[in-house]
Structure 1
């Protein structure tokens, strides 16, 4: 697999694919946090995308609306998007995470970011929003957010590490710099490529 071709075919960041412009600030950041939580689960990309769009179509894409919707409504949306395997637990976690964001930061991710002393503190605060946020969710979220958050220093997920190793890439950031690639696009492409390595049905970008 040629890495340059892989990035060209599969490197579109998830936030951009969803039409979320992270330059717009808090409103867009809340949408991306929601999407990141969905994508972090071991579920097909298409299902996570469909579920996010179901939330957006229902007007449930910010802390207040998600909390006000309540558990039953969240489960209904999750089921509509095909997230049935994780519907109950994800509804619990969404209520906890966005409820914590409301309680501790007034629903504002900008306030969370501004309160962070550095990259490590930023990750600690994101994880602190709820038990539904682990290292993979933090990495998925910050991978795109580093374009607008200078303190964002996401760690590579196991999936990305596996793909990089398979393609002979020892230093992902160094490889991106050397070949003039956007590191976010490279990591996104490696994430998508990992599905092919696992034997699962690969994303559409690998089926051309």
Structure 2
């Protein structure tokens, strides 16, 4: 079994999937991916971010309308149940971001996709206009959304390529992409990020330190 096959077997779950998001090119799952990207933008463990996203959706806050209309205190409490830190500032950012989705994009991020028209720089510019969604969060969104927006394939950012280097894999996004089917690129990107962060993943896959 190749290193990439082992990597996909060991760590090839997208962060959206880990957060319970069945990602499709539809308004609700795309919005939930945006929320997840905001949550993962902060320096928190990925599991805290994915757990907080799952907690929000389970509590009924899975659409921009529901997040905008929720009481600030209820959203803070929901994030707190997931042991997420910085709950107050994050809640404010999520509610302001939900309003922006509704005002700027009519509640449907497929309009953002159309506006970006396949240009990753334009997509990132639109994404970083959301509160508390900086370049790191934009990369997370693009890495994950390439599963359903194929015009952004391959998107293997610095964190993914750092994982590739630690595993002794090519550090050129194009060469890496040639080794998997297009539909697996989001899984590969997530797995490479985990390989960069987690010694155990690299040990299981057999990569170098």
- What do residues 1-57 of structure 1 show as CA deviations (whole Å, max 9, x unaligned)? 944312211011122333423235111111121122222322223222221121011
Runs of 5+ unmatched residues, structure 1: none
C-alpha RMSD of matched pairs (Å): 2.6
Distance 1:156 1:175, change over 3 A: closer
Q: Distance in 2 between matches of 1:163 and 1:72?
A: 39
> What residue number does 1:93 align with?
93
2:60 is the counterpart of 1:59: yes
> What residue number does 2:84 align with?
83
> What residue number does 2:142 align with?
142
Q: Distance in 1 between matches of 2:174 and 2:186?
A: 9
Q: Note if contact 2:147-2:185 (Cα within 8 Å) is conserved in structure 1.
A: no
Count of equivalent residues: 200
Q: Distance in 1 between matches of 2:117 and 2:178?
A: 27
> What residue number does 1:192 align with?
194
Q: Distance in 2 between matches of 1:167 and 1:10?
A: 13
Distance 1:25 1:79, change over 3 A: same
Shift of 1:179: 5.6
> What residue number does 2:39 align with?
38
Q: Distance in 1 between matches of 2:174 and 2:147?
A: 14
> What residue number does 2:22 align with?
21
Q: 1:183 aligns with which of 169, 172, 185?
A: 185
Q: Note if contact 2:41-2:133 (Cα within 8 Å) is conserved in structure 1.
A: no
> What residue number does 1:108 align with?
108
Q: Distance in 2 between matches of 1:177 and 1:114?
A: 27
Greater shift in the superposed pair: 38-47 or 179-188? 179-188
Q: Note if contact 1:136-1:157 (Cα within 8 Å) is conserved in structure 2.
A: no
> TM-score normalised to the size of structure 1?
0.83
Tell me, what secondary structure is at the counterpart of 1:23? coil
- What do residues 122-164 of structure 1 show as CA deviations (whole Å, max 9, x unaligned)? 2222222x23111111111121212222443575444323222
Distance 1:145 1:88, change over 3 A: same
Tell me, what secondary structure is at the counterpart of 2:122? helix
Runs of 5+ unmatched residues, structure 2: none
Q: Distance in 2 between matches of 1:176 and 1:151?
A: 14
